Amino acid sequence: MKYLVCLFLTFALLSTAHAQEIKRNIPYADPAHERQVLDVYSPKEAKNLPVVFWIHGGGWQAGDKSSVQLKPQVFVEKGFVFVSTNYRLLPSVDMDTIIRDVAKSLGWVHKHIAEHGGDPKRIYVMGHSAGAQLAALVCIDDRYFKAEGVPFDVLKGCVPVDGDTYDVPAIIETAETRRRVHGQPQAKFGHREKFGNTPEKHRDLSAVTHVAKGKNIPPFLILHVADHPDNAAQAQRLGAVLKDAGLPVTVFGAKETNHTKINENLGDPNDSSTKALLDFVGVK
């Protein structure tokens, strides 16, 4: 039955595919590296529509903006412009460069999305896994968007999906303790190395470090796999810090799913995370 529902949804989406326009591989830097490009999906004759800005996952070492599954079709159907961005990857660049790429990409969106029917003053930032960490950080630590001329008041919401690094020191301690207790070798290129290999960098690249009142931090919907202990703990940690600062936040744990499926199923009308997401952005 679930297969038939998904098949029906796929055909329904394909039948409306002609109603959207897709512009691929738009450079957001000048000069642009081959990874400094984004795709824009928009309804035909779109004008002044809210924007979803999507950041892919892949452990900051892999992944691509084309891996968006149902999301562009569903959001375009609901009256949004959908943007999916690439960024440079580890180990060719460091984590700071990746974050600045994401900020630069959103800077391009803020300046140019009206040309594609989007409203530059209504942007939702979302991402899965590594993209969840990047989304949360740039929507909380305002240094990155300020450098690109993007004011926080244009951000209408942030949706990190099943990230494990909102508090980098905590996940390093958790992972390394688990390996040590079980007599396993430590990772050669784990979170410790990826995030700069110093306690100062680990704290600075943690979204929880920068939460504060009065910064126009947008509302958060933190989606996570309910029975994944590390990701659930990180989601609750970020949610608690935002709540303690008096900021609007919802933490939603999805059941009977996993790290891959929670991303792939976003857009399926029968998916609980999708329902939470559409409610968050104010559509049915």
End-to-end CA distance of the chain: give it in Å, rounded: 23
Q: Which residues neighbour 57 within 8 Å (Cβ) at sequence distance 6 or greater?
A: 63, 127, 128, 129, 130, 131, 132, 263
Which pLDDT tens digits describe the chain residue by residue (284 residues)? 544 444 444 444 444 444 789 999 999 999 999 999 999 999 999 999 999 999 999 999 999 999 999 999 999 999 999 999 999 999 999 999 999 999 999 999 999 999 999 999 999 999 999 999 999 999 999 999 999 999 999 999 999 999 999 999 999 999 999 999 999 999 999 999 999 999 999 999 999 999 999 999 999 999 999 999 999 999 999 999 999 999 999 999 999 999 999 999 999 999 999 999 999 999 98
Distances (CA, A) of 141 to 157, 206, 222, 264: 14, 9, 17, 28
Where do the domains of the chain lie? 14-167+206-281
Strand blocks (E) in 28-116? 37-43, 49-55, 81-85
Cβ 113 vs Cβ 26: under 8 Å: no
Structure tokens that stand for 54 in this block = 């999507």
The alpha helices in 117-228, defined as continuous H runs, are 130-140, 143-147, 168-181, 191-194, 199-204
pTM, two decimal places: 0.93
Per-residue pLDDT at 13: 47
Architecture of the structural domain at 14-167+206-281: 3-Layer(aba) Sandwich (3.40)
Cβ 159 vs Cβ 223: under 8 Å: yes
Per-residue pLDDT at 37: 98
